[in-house]
């Protein structure tokens, strides 16, 4: 109780680490848990040695925004009402919703369920027992009273309350296959989330790198194919340019012969370059060579006629 009280008053280290804003908590009863518990248990006979029950009532973050004070007060009120009714109607002596932490969807509820015990002679006595009502509910729902059945009964009842009393579109709780404890501290949960985020980012970067490599390989293949195509065009154009040049000389067209000679030399120089020739730079040469070849063929046909 002392540790829980110090945490609620923000007097411990973990509560200081979790603070992200200056906002006072919403409380029922107060923050002096030991005094409240003592007052609650005054004149009550306790069965067992448990100081109190501490329940963390978690709301679904996707269904309640939780950013406004009205929503927070509503969550606090319903958490207290549910826990009180589930534990017999006389159970809660304090509750708190922390508003200075990153998450504002959990309510801490502190309880010591009380009930009226009646002797055979008609006398009554106020008693307190932490598991009396949870065992009865587990027996009613599942026909057994072990701790797992008690936890399942509480989860199912909370689901039904949110669905029926709060009109939230909640999904039924999934039954745990393992019995190991799954409650972790917020700091550990934050570390797990950060670790998962880093792993997800690493996967995204790896996928992006793989896609980039694939695109580069595909582009290299296209460049190689284009270079081969241009090389074939040059190899076909060179003899035609030479024939057209000779024909122009025989016809006395010195200017045409010089132009064809210049094209042939340029084509020859380009053939000495690496095969990885970019299409935009070689395309004009190939186009001129193609035009020269077409002109050469036309000249040859006219000479044969």
Write a three-state SS string for 36-101: HHHHHCCCCEEECCCCCEEEEEECCCCCCCCCCHHHHHHHHHHHHHHHHHHCCCCCEEEEEECCCE
Average model confidence (pLDDT) for the chain? 83
For residue 119, is pLDDT > 50? yes
Centre a 10 Å sphere on the Cβ of residue 94 and count the other Cβ atoms it contains: 25
pLDDT at site 89: 95
Q: Taking CA 25 as the corner, what is the angle to CA 91 and CA 75, rounded to the nearest 5 degrees? A: 55
What mean pLDDT is predicted for residues 186-213? 78
Structure tokens at 93: 């002596």
β pairing state of 106-111 and 114-118: unpaired
Output 277 or 290, whichever has higher pLDDT.
290
**Which of 77-86, 146-155, 184-193 is the least confident region?**
184-193
For residue 71, is pLDDT > 70? yes
Query: Where in the chain do CATH 3.30.930 domains reside?
Result: 2-177
Confidence of residue 203 (pLDDT cuts 50, 70, 90): confident
Q: Please state whether the predicted TM-score (pTM) of the whole model is above 0.75.
A: no
pLDDT at site 84: 96
Instruction: Please count the residues of the chain.
Output: 305
C-beta of residue 192 within 8 angstroms of C-beta of residue 182: no
165, HSE (Cβ side, Cα atoms, 13 Å)? 14
Fold designation for 2-177: BirA Bifunctional Protein; domain 2 (3.30.930)
Q: Which of 29-43, 188-202, 278-292 has the highest mean pLDDT?
A: 29-43
For residue 273, is pLDDT > 60? no
pLDDT at site 236: 75
What mean pLDDT is predicted for residues 3-8? 90
**Which of 86-95, 151-160, 228-237, 269-278 is the least confident region?**
269-278
Confidence of residue 153 (pLDDT cuts 50, 70, 90): very high
> What SS3 class is residue 50?
coil
Which phi and psi angles does 97 have, rounded to 5°?
-115, 115
pLDDT at site 281: 41
For residue 186, is pLDDT > 70? no
Output 263 or 96, whichever has higher pLDDT.
96
pLDDT tens-digit map of 15-46: 888 889 999 999 999 999 999 999 999 999 99
Q: Which of 27-31, 212-216, 281-285 has the highest mean pLDDT?
A: 27-31
Confidence of residue 269 (pLDDT cuts 50, 70, 90): confident
Q: How far apart are CA 160 and CA 169, in angstroms?
A: 11
For residue 278, is pLDDT > 50? no
Q: Alpha carbon of 87 to those of 111, 114, 265: distances in Å?
A: 9, 8, 99
Which residue(s) pair with 115 in the sheet? 127
pLDDT at site 272: 60
Confidence of residue 81 (pLDDT cuts 50, 70, 90): very high
pLDDT at site 275: 41
Q: Which of 159-163, 282-286, 294-298 has the highest mean pLDDT?
A: 159-163
What mean pLDDT is predicted for residues 105-129? 93
pLDDT at site 74: 96
């Amino acid at each position: 109780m002392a540790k829980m009280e110090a945490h609620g008053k923000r007097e411990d280290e973990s509560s200081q680490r979790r603070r992200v804003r200056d906002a006072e908590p919403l409380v029922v009863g107060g923050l002096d848990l030991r005094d409240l518990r003592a007052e609650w248990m005054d004149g009550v006979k306790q069965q067992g040695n448990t100081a109190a029950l501490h329940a963390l009532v978690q709301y679904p973050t996707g269904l309640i925004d939780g950013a406004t004070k009205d929503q927070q007060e509503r969550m606090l009120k319903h958490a207290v009402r549910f826990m009180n009714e589930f534990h017999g109607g006389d159970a809660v002596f304090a509750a708190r919703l922390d508003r200075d932490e990153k998450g504002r969807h959990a309510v801490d509820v502190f309880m010591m369920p009380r009930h009226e015990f009646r002797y055979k002679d008609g006398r009554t006595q106020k008693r307190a027992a932490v598991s009396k009502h949870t065992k009865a509910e587990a027996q009613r729902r599942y026909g057994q009273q072990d701790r797992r059945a008690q936890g399942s009964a509480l989860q199912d009842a909370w689901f039904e309350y949110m669905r029926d009393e709060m009109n939230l579109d909640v999904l039924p709780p999934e039954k745990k296959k393992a019995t190991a404890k799954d409650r972790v501290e917020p700091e550990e949960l934050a570390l797990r989330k950060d670790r998962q985020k880093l792993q997800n980012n690493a996967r995204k970067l790896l996928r992006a790198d793989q896609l980039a490599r694939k695109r580069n390989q595909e582009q290299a293949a296209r460049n190689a194919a284009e270079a081969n195509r241009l090389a074939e065009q040059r190899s076909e154009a060179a003899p035609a340019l030479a024939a057209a040049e000779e024909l122009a000389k025989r016809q006395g067209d010195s200017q045409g012969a010089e132009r064809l000679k210049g094209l042939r030399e340029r084509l020859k120089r380009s053939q000495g370059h690496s095969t990885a020739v970019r299409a935009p730079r070689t395309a004009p040469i190939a186009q001129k060579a193609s035009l020269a070849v077409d002109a050469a063929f036309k000249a040859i046909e006219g000479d044969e006629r």
